[in-house]
Structure 1
């Protein structure tokens, strides 16, 4: 990626003047608001379904007589299945179209979501959640590829930020609604209600999303797919972005999976409804992900990643203080840092890939959700072995990895610049 391209990507999104040579969507232009709202709703449904059991884990544990680490697989299983299936489903989107695959993915996921409340055993619940995660795998990479194809480059970071903002709203509303419903009627009613909400989002998404105008069907041949994947994995910038996304999500997954156990035990002893309300903090993520484009314009991509990592680390420090208000501030910082880092890294992937964008985004999503799965599972194990401090310690390790990779990217860029080779803005 050339410096000129990098500067273009970092420019704040504004309404572009009409141009007969570029029919892609831009803020203020035809179809942009419908597209933004449709993908926002898709993001809401995805995160509400994917993490529907996360805030309810103490109740799931009690219902099935399971440990925290066993119950955490209702989250880890879904995210791991998504990570495994996102690449092959992205290949289907290259052949059959982004909108078609996103619609099919949401349809299957919401159907499974309506079955989840009736799981008779923990094993059946985990199996349904794995199926649900696999179905949702068709959405994130296809959405990123759709945006990269249908939105003008100057508006891409902002458009992706709105999709990520939908993720944060979905994650927040699912947990808050689920928390209060679970306190009154149990976790099964809670996840069933989330499933019904997701159905409404899926129907509205399909009705609103504009038909793609710039999609060109690709090949489903395994060799072509392997060649495209090999090209992306051979790009040092993309490799760094993939690992950075995974590490950010590891912090986030570990913190939010275990926080319910931490806050329902002494000295806090909060009710399930109050624990669910803690997820109002997700609103911070909505703001920080939407602001990622402006941060990149001011600080550059590496500068924004440093800021996101520093903010997350500061939040982890506050999580070590056994005071509810201080811990809430810590969650605010962790959430703001995570969503800003995620929006920056994911938009960088979409901008960097010059071909096979669905596969480039799919590899990022795969790494990202592997980070979530590892964070949830290992975070719960750390909590079991060393308490809340163990979970926070895992977060520090992941943040250190983000900083180390970003420093390495800065060093690599300077080395290449001195060698006379054009360098990426990352």
Structure 2
């Protein structure tokens, strides 16, 4: 196999390209999050409707993952990822010129579908083009880009919205994303070890039947659905209390709140090591407990405690996600690992869409306290559901993790 040599010019070009690609993907995906409360004020819409600017993109991403999985083994890896990034960037620019919020939501949904072509293919490309001994460092670059992208998009949008308005902010983010995407297209080395193939409908159906009849896998899928949903719910709607009296945070200051997401890099590594040494069901329960504590702290009227609560939400979520996502590959086995991982992401982003959106309904009807009660119930349910994956002794100690 003709793999990319570590330290070569191709290695540097690939690393930079994958870093920029993941920044584009996650910056665009989460860019409207700090603007949700602003959308409610400007368009006189409910929190749930404003929150759909994120939820529709993630449900589009979930649908896109299904579509891409059906064609990914037939289309060149670089071509598919490049088209995904370029289309996403152009749609981000287009979204800045919409005056009707309903049209903005349609574009956000299309962005979600177009985004799916990058994260679903990136890991496969890296695994094919690099020697296994180099995977740690190249995957680390990719994962760093996912964290930086989500942070970068939220911070830039918040600051530029204060300086200009949210339309100009999105247009500038889209233009920068387009430049990054063009660099990716021009500089990422072509696939050398990809061989187009076909997956029969029978094989696809057999994989689905296997994965959906495994109680342990279902437990992990549902855990991802609930955890991602609660995490996005808190981040979507925390802007309402923080940008209102008595805090009155500006969009710039509020945007910097999302620096707490960088805690996920630390917690995912730390809890990954804990899962190597202790039973996974206890490690994930501890992570969910930290997430729950963070959710409850947001009930405080003290600004510091509220922000600390959001930080613990991010810390606990990424810790639990790291354990759960690694657990999926172990439970599924080698033959069905790829499809099981895709289904995990489908539930993961489905939770972001449906649970995240439904939190806005609770917030609108019952206020922040009512929404937090709803989140608390879902997290207790997540602890119970995650125990479905704990019935096999062989899954207790082995570890593998990924952050998306």
User: Counterpart in 2 of 1:354?
Assistant: 334
* CA displacement, residues 75-96 of structure 1 (integer Å, 9 cap, x when unaligned): 1111111112211212211221
User: Counterpart in 1 of 2:25?
Assistant: 46
Distance 2:63 2:156 in 1: 29
Distance 2:107 2:223 in 1: 29
Larger mean CA deviation between 383-392 and 163-172 belongs to 163-172
Offset of residue 183 of structure 1: 1.4
User: Residue 32 and residue 58 in structure 1: after superposition, are their counterparts in 2 closer, same or farther (change >3 A)?
Assistant: same
Distance 1:148 1:195 in 2: 29
- Consecutive unaligned residues of structure 2, counting only runs of 5 or more, are 400-404
* Secondary structure of 2:301's aligned partner: coil
- Consecutive unaligned residues of structure 1, counting only runs of 5 or more, are 1-21
User: Residue 65 and residue 370 in structure 1: after superposition, are their counterparts in 2 closer, same or farther (change >3 A)?
Assistant: same
User: Counterpart in 1 of 2:235?
Assistant: 256
User: Counterpart in 2 of 1:171?
Assistant: 150
Equivalent residue for 1:404, pick from 364, 384, 392: 384
Equivalent residue for 1:66, pick from 41, 45, 48: 45
Query: 1:262-277, aligned counterparts within 5 Å?
Result: 262-277=241-256
Equivalent residue for 2:221, pick from 234, 237, 242: 242
Distance 1:68 1:50 in 2: 18
User: Residue 227 and residue 159 in structure 1: after superposition, are their counterparts in 2 closer, same or farther (change >3 A)?
Assistant: farther
Match status 1:232 vs 2:232: no
Offset of residue 348 of structure 1: 3.7
Offset of residue 370 of structure 1: 0.7
Counterpart contact for 1:160–1:343, Cα < 8 Å: no
* Secondary structure of 1:266's aligned partner: coil
Offset of residue 132 of structure 1: 0.5
Counterpart contact for 1:232–1:353, Cα < 8 Å: no
TM-score normalized with structure 1 length: 0.82
User: Counterpart in 1 of 2:402?
Assistant: none
Equivalent residue for 1:315, pick from 287, 294, 299: 294
Distance 2:244 2:85 in 1: 36
Counterpart contact for 1:142–1:358, Cα < 8 Å: no
User: Residue 194 and residue 409 in structure 1: after superposition, are their counterparts in 2 closer, same or farther (change >3 A)?
Assistant: same
Number of aligned residue pairs: give it.
Answer: 398
Match status 1:390 vs 2:352: no
Match status 1:380 vs 2:360: yes
Equivalent residue for 1:127, pick from 62, 84, 106: 106
Counterpart contact for 1:353–1:360, Cα < 8 Å: no
| RMSD, aligned α-carbons | 3.0
User: Counterpart in 1 of 2:318?
Assistant: 339
Offset of residue 30 of structure 1: 9.4
Larger mean CA deviation between 299-308 and 59-68 belongs to 299-308
User: Residue 29 and residue 183 in structure 1: after superposition, are their counterparts in 2 closer, same or farther (change >3 A)?
Assistant: same
User: Residue 354 and residue 255 in structure 1: after superposition, are their counterparts in 2 closer, same or farther (change >3 A)?
Assistant: same
Distance 1:26 1:304 in 2: 37
Offset of residue 151 of structure 1: 6.0
